[in-house]
Chain A
Amino acid sequence: MKKPYVHPYIPNSVPAVKEEMLRVVGARDADELYSRMIPERLLLKRPMDLPEPLPSELDLRRHVEGLLNGDGDCSDYLSFLGGGCWNHYVPEVCDVIASRSEFLTAYAGGVYSDLGRFQAIYEFQSLIGELVDMDFSCIPTYDWGAAAGNAVRMASRVTGRKEILVPRTISPARLSIMSNFCDSAHKPDSIKIKSVDYDPETGALDIGDLEDKISERTAGVYFENPTYLGVIEPRCEEISSIAHEHGALSVAGVDPISLGVLSPPGEYDADISCGEVQPLGIHMLAGGGSCGFLASKDEERLAAEYPARMLSITDTEVEGEYGFGQVRYERTSYMARESAKDWVGTTTGLWAIVAAVYMSLMGPEGMRELGEGVLQRAHYAAKILDEIEGVAVPFRGFFKEFPVNFDATGAKVSDVNRGLLERRVFGGKDISIEFPELGQSGLYCFTEKHTKADLTRLADALREVF
């Protein structure tokens, strides 16, 4: 006898149950029902041609693990990769909360059924507000690039202007995402992105060039701190005032892990801040851990232009109870379709919750301590790398990343990285094409995960490679 088809993910695949349901709905089989809804000519009249299935959980595990077992990661290699996705330590409690069924599998329920989800995400908004020193925030978006894209479009709408200044040192990937947000099918509506040079000595924004390029057409000055090349921007306050003098908004892109030690956007009068949440307790996941945040001054003209959902706290009918709801929901595309402020959708809710847990675990002292330890490791690394013949560290005022230049060794970064890979080290990201003026340079990243032995191992491996 042929075994009936039953799948563990489909309870009603049990033939007797299905037959009973078909009897209730008055049909012989699924085909009969489909033929009442979909025209014959559009029906696929053959079984799909797909690989043999692995309905057994163990068989499936063997198959996928077999594919992944040949891969490497930053646990079995010593990694110095960064560039927007960083290898910070993820506390165990973050993983415990991230894997809770309730958070992992919730979606669009309301505040009464999902109070805890609303509160956790509200706490994310609140704690990001503390880190960046700003009073207004929203649900997170996809990544730093999307947050920056949202931010500059907001600046354009607030000012009614169509030009954005960005630093030459912005991550090229981020710039590309931003360009996609700024382009318009109606070309006169496109937001033009202009690049501001950097000081070749320090890597910081060239203030003179900013003053040359800013004008009454400028909607916003977008700058980063630390920059994509790792440099701490020393004149943020000045950048904000130059923007404001010209009626433009100051938009700061930041790495929140730096904000235990570095001055936050609120302290240098930025109007909007954005950045990447991934360092706050989220695994790299081959880039799948990205999560962008947006925050700003608590001003109506700014709030009115956010595309995202924004949670506010409120009261209920019972004294002392907190409830949560959506601020100015009619702005969003869920309500206003094509008249909305850009668009919203499913973004990165789970990462917001994890980041809230991380910020709560770290507290102010943890963030300070971590920032200081990262600074010290990066500076120590720069010192010992600089001592290697032919290796140079061009910029000095960095946080956790800096370019390492190999020009004097005569080697290409790609060759260096190949040599390091053989020694089970992931060298820094090759930026020789993104920043040709920096020659053969790799962007190296150092975090609290690196021990002194790791840094020595890097220096030794480099010496061997040359």
Chain B
Amino acid sequence: MGEEKPRRYHGPVWSEPLITELTSTGERGIMTPEVDEEIKSMGDISSLVPASAIRKRAPGLPELSQAQVLRHYLRLSQMVLGMELDIDLGVGTCTMKYSPKVNERLVAMIGDVHPLQDEATMQGLLEMVYKFGHVFLAEISGMDAFSFQPPGGSAAAYNNAAIMRKYHEVNGELEQRNEIITTIFSHPCDAACPATAGFNLVTIYPDPETGLPDTEALKAAVSERTAGMFITNPEDTGIFNPEIDEWTKMVHEVGGLCSYDQANANAIMGVTRAREAGFDMCFFNLHKTFSSPHGSSGPGCGGVGVVEELAEFLPVPVVVHRDGKYHLDYDRPNSIGRVRDFMGNVQVVLRSYAWSMAMGARGLREAAEVSMINNQYLEKKLLEVRGVTKPYSTEGRVDQIRWSLERMKEETGVGVSDLNRRVIDYGIQSFFTSHHPWIVPEPFTPEPCETYSKADIDYWVSVVQRVSDEAYSEPEKVMGAPHNVAIHKIKSTPFDDPDRWATTWRAYLRKRGKR
């Protein structure tokens, strides 16, 4: 069935200049609509805008005809290994699942909807938003009230930090409760967002042997200062905290709240829920688990669920169902206010609704089970690859595993950054390594979600196997990679030097003395 050997691959090489370098003075990419003569007679810019407010120098935008613009961006697109082109299971914690193409057609139907339209003209859209929360996420999480205002996972973590802040403020305990507890294998936003919201962070490290979250350390961490806990489960190691309900209980006992980062929820849908684990809030990354395309990093959505007691704090507007109609409710005195303008990334919710409708209870559970089985299967195969090790003694890993190439690095000098450049020579996207700090040395974190077939997994492992063979026979080849893609290894790294970094082309020209 599967292919046993890596295929020959070469990525497109267009050597495409920056768009601004392609400028040909006077060319036009598109014409603007004609202005009626009577409207034109209102006057030109100089008569309609005060002199002080008129632009003095025209912007240095490119001047190109339409075909040339299209060609440029098509060429750039070809030099991107999107999920739909490769076996993208290496990018763990990101759940690179297939986003059904039909959903793009459905999203196009709301392209011309303005968010401030009369509610009566958006009943169908609002119904889907409402039902995705109150029907689907309610059952999947066990939570009571929902918001899709946060436009990404980290934004949802910040949203939940703001809810926690408001909750303790309303209860008059904010001054006392200034600590948030997280674990080092929870996502960085679980630390950074509460910190930005003004809390102090207490980070718990796992048991160094087992990798299990350290319950004793939590016991020592909770106190009357605890505002709450922000935690990912399963953690990025793939380890599910078997005492998670004990953890939430301990935090509740001292008066804190518990927020559940469910970015890693794909393999536990319909298996275990936030409610039974004792959480007060959770969020799902709809662009991961619920199949909205990742869009070169957004737009996404952090779908937030909370228990009834916290519903009053949700950001506005909240979609409600009253008198047989759907409404946007702004009249919520204890709301944290706005976290995103309008209704958030509602197209992401639409896709999630459509995907969930295509799956149903059985399909969602099947997606979870297959993702989990895929991970067990990948584990068996990867354990056979020389130089690859599975840190921590805990056997069972749910959706992914944080692997290590430490042994390969010691034995050959080839580390994960080398491997990551080399696998793309075989048409495989570079892996997700790990967030920082790298507790696991030379880490990488594949996540073989339900999209990937057994043959896909076999092929993917065959590439890792090939690179491992290369590392042990001709390491310089791996270290010099990539060889078969659009560019070569980046030589200089001026990225920390103010005199050399250039985040715009105009800065680049200035700093290189070209302008």
Contacts and interface: CB of A to CB of B under 8 A. Distances in A.
Task: State yes or no: do A and B come from one complex.
Answer: yes
B84 interface: yes
Most buried by A among B94, B153, B234, B340: B340
A426 B366 CA distance: 45
Interface in A43-84: 43-44, 47-55, 57, 60-61, 63-75, 77, 79, 81, 83-84
A284 B35 contact: no
Given A13-B370, A361-B69, A104 B492 contact: no
A284 B113 contact: yes
Contacts of B140: 48
Interface in B107-161: 107, 109-118, 120-125, 127-128, 135-136, 139-140, 151-155, 157-158
Contact of A288 (B64, B81, B105, B345): B345
Interface residues of B, number: 217
A325 B116 CA distance: 39
5 contacts: A50-B356, A79-B114, A285-B113, A290-B341, A360-B62
A144 to B, nearest CB: 7
Contacts of B52: 234-237, 263
B107 to A, nearest CB: 7
A75 B487 CA distance: 44
B151 A347 contact: yes
Nearest to B58: A364
A123 interface: yes
Nearest to A90: B111
Contact of A177 (B69, B339, B360, B451): B339
B140 to A, nearest CB: 7
Contacts of A5: 362, 366
Nearest to A134: B504
A287 B343 contact: yes
Given A71-B124, A106-B83, A350 B296 contact: yes
A190 B198 contact: yes
Interface stretch (B407-415, B429-437, B459-467, B470-478): B429-437
Contacts of A122: 18, 503, 505
Contact of B488 (A9, A283, A321): A321
Contacts of A377: 35, 39
B367 to A, nearest CB: 6
B311 interface: no
A188 B374 CA distance: 50
Contact of A261 (B11, B49, B436): B49
Contact of A287 (B60, B341, B363): B341
Contact of B287 (A180, A346, A367): A346
Interface string A81-123: 1011101011101001101111111111111111111011111
A129 interface: yes
A177 B191 contact: no
A452 interface: yes
B101 to A, nearest CB: 9
Nearest to A359: B61
Most chain A CB within a 10 A radius of its CB, from B96, B189, B297: B297
Nearest to B480: A317
Contacts of B421: 110, 112
A234 B121 contact: no
Nearest to A353: B296
Contacts of A72: 117, 121-122
B394 to A, nearest CB: 9
A383 B35 CA distance: 16
B42 A379 contact: yes
Given A67-B128, A107-B96, A173-B342, A129 B506 contact: yes
A94 B52 CA distance: 33
Interface in B491-510: 491-496, 498, 501-508, 510
Given A107-B94, A333-B188, A350 B358 contact: no
Given A5-B366, A180-B339, A326-B495, A113 B488 contact: no
A376 to B, nearest CB: 5
Contact of B340 (A42, A55, A146, A299): A146
B507 A233 contact: no
A102 B366 CA distance: 28
Interface stretch (A30-38, A158-166, A208-216): A30-38
A68 B109 contact: yes
Contacts of A64: 106, 128, 350, 353-354, 357
B342 A84 contact: yes
Interface string B78-104: 111111110000010010111110101
A284 B196 contact: no
Given A36-B396, A315-B491, A323-B487, 5 more contacts: A25-B376, A116-B80, A126-B20, A143-B341, A314-B495
Given A142-B152, A353-B296, A25 B373 contact: yes
A38 B271 CA distance: 9
B11 to A, nearest CB: 8
Contact of A96 (B70, B178, B300): B70
B208 interface: no
> Lowest 5 A-B CB distances belong to which pairs?
A53-B360, A345-B154, A287-B342, A184-B198, A287-B115
Interface in A285-320: 285-288, 290-291, 298-300, 303, 310-318, 320
A72 B443 CA distance: 50
A346 B154 contact: yes
Kindly name the residue among B50, B367, B501 whose own CB sees the greatest number of chain A CB atoms within 10 A: B501
Contacts of B62: 127, 359-360, 363
Contacts of A1: none
B504 A102 contact: no
Interface string B28-47: 11111101101110111100
A338 B192 CA distance: 4
Contacts of B493: 314, 325
Contacts of B115: 85, 284, 286-287
B270 A333 contact: no
B56 A267 contact: yes
Interface stretch (B240-248, B249-257, B385-393): B240-248
B436 A335 contact: yes
A337 B191 contact: yes
Contact of B336 (A180, A362, A449): A180
Q: Which of B398, B487, B489, B496 counts the most chain A CB atoms within 10 A?
A: B487
B63 interface: yes
B100 to A, nearest CB: 7
B213 interface: no
A7 B98 CA distance: 13
B55 A329 contact: no
Contacts of A187: 174-175, 198
A335 B201 CA distance: 15
B27 to A, nearest CB: 8
Given A21-B373, A452-B39, A285 B110 contact: yes
A345 B298 CA distance: 9
B374 A21 contact: yes
A49 B506 CA distance: 57
Given A21-B454, A143-B340, A363-B64, A286 B113 contact: yes
A312 B503 contact: yes
B347 to A, nearest CB: 4
A53 B20 CA distance: 49
Contacts of B332: none
Nearest to A53: B360
Contacts of B80: 102-103, 106, 109, 113-117
Nearest to B201: A338
A380 B64 CA distance: 32
B365 A285 contact: no
A107 to B, nearest CB: 4
A183 B197 contact: yes
A334 B435 contact: yes
